[in-house]
């Protein structure tokens, strides 16, 4: 059996999940990997058959998506050519983790496409909706990577093809300690902004992982270093708490590790607004920005010992086995 597994390369969550999903797929046949996007920092430990620029959301430096850069760097002609040229008919099964080239190639060539992603779940009516409906953001989520069959991951399952998160084996097998620091991953803020905002809490040791820094920097109580998968996982596992965006993989891993969690949803990113709404129902504190008016919430979180208990069993192989069994006939 030939399987095409296509992964969204914007951010690191999709790539992190792929590290565990690919070996599960390889038990069922020959797997070719496609990655599109230009904002990821992780390298997959597998050969990549297709690499495209795709359609990436570009992170800004003030807490949100840079819409202007997202549009100017989209290269629609190259995107369409990639969609036209991708030989999806050569594969028995096409699985897309919110990856637009493979999804739209399947639409163009009338090939069934299976969505296996967080986005396949995030718009479900079974989960809380954002306080403010972003009609454009919702439209983008619904049409960015269309699929004929949908299987999703969310912070809670609902029994209808929506499962608990894929937690990387690297995280599952890591020793969990508490050395007193707080791990920070807010890729839509630049280093200067984070230093300014985190310096308001001088008694806290902040361990910041940055998309905007190429070398380690220590400034009083703040350490800023480039994103490194092993170091980031070790930092999270040994932290007191995690301050991050309202993405999916990092909050899910922090919850799995039993860490305090505080999230700041990215502006102009509807999916993160939906994630924040779901996390809020689980008693995870949510703030809209790092402006001083949210300092009281941050201080309360730092002083609180409250952690949210979750159960995220290792069922990735079972999910893959079920999907392959259903669509390989």
Q: What is the pLDDT of residue 140?
A: 82
Q: What is the pLDDT of residue 319?
A: 96
Cβ within 8 Å of residue 220, ≥6 positions away: 199, 202
Least Cα distance to 193 among 224, 214, 215 occurs for: 224
| Mode of pairing for the β-strands spanning 206-210 and 162-163 | unpaired
Q: What is the pLDDT of residue 75?
A: 65
DSSP 83-150: HHH--GGG-SEEEEES-HHHHHHHHHTT---EEEESHHHHT-TTSPPPSS--HHHHHHHHHSS--SEE
pLDDT values of the chain reduced to their tens digit, one per residue, 329 residues:
999 999 998 777 888 899 999 999 999 999 999 999 765 567 788 999 999 876 655 554 554 455 445 545 556 788 889 999 999 999 999 999 999 999 999 999 999 999 999 999 988 877 877 777 777 878 888 888 999 999 999 999 887 899 999 999 999 999 999 999 999 999 888 899 999 999 999 999 999 999 887 889 999 999 999 988 899 999 999 999 999 999 999 999 999 999 999 999 988 788 999 999 999 999 999 999 999 999 999 999 999 988 999 999 999 999 999 999 999 86
| Domains defined along the chain, listed by start | 2-167+313-327 (3.40.50.2000), 169-303 (3.40.50.2000)
Cβ within 8 Å of residue 235, ≥6 positions away: 181, 183, 207, 209
CB 82 within 8 A of CB 101: yes
Q: Given 3-state DSSP classes, what are the helix, strand and coil percentages for the chain, each rounded to the nearest 5?
A: 35, 20, 45
Q: What is the pLDDT of residue 268?
A: 76
- In the block, tokens 């930092």 appear at 235
């Amino acid at each position: 059996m030939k399987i095409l597994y296509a992964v969204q390369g914007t951010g690191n969550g999709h790539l992190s999940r792929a590290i565990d999903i690919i070996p599960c797929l390889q038990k069922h046949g020959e797997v070719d990997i496609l990655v599109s996007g230009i904002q990821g920092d992780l390298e997959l430990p597998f050969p990549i058959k297709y690499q495209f620029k795709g359609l990436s959301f570009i992170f800004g430096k003030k807490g949100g998506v840079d819409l202007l850069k997202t549009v100017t760097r989209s290269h629609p002609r190259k995107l369409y050519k990639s969609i036209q040229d991708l030989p999806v008919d050569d594969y028995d099964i096409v699985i897309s983790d919110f990856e637009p080239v493979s999804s739209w190639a399947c639409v163009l060539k009338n090939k069934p496409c299976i969505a296996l992603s967080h986005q396949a779940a995030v718009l479900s009516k079974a989960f809380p909706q954002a306080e403010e409906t972003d009609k454009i953001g919702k439209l983008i989520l619904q049409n960015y990577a269309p699929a004929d069959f949908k299987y999703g991951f969310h912070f809670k399952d609902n029994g209808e093809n929506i499962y608990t998160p894929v937690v990387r084996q690297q995280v599952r097998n890591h020793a969990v300690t508490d050395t007193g620091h707080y791990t920070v991953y807010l890729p839509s803020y630049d280093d200067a902004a984070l230093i300014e905002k985190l310096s308001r809490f001088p008694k806290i040791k902040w361990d910041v992982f940055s998309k905007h820094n190429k070398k380690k920097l220590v400034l009083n109580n703040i350490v800023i270093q480039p994103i490194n998968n092993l170091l980031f996982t070790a930092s999270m596992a040994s932290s007191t708490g995690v301050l991050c965006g309202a993405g999916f993989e990092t909050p899910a891993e922090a919850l799995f590790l039993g860490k305090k969690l505080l999230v700041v949803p990215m502006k102009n990113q509807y999916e993160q607004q939906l994630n924040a709404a779901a996390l809020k129902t689980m008693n995870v504190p949510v703030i809209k920005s790092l402006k001083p008016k949210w300092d009281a919430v941050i201080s309360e979180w730092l002083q609180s010992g409250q952690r949210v208990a979750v159960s995220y069993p290792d069922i990735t192989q079972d999910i893959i086995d079920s999907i392959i069994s259903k669509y390989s006939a």
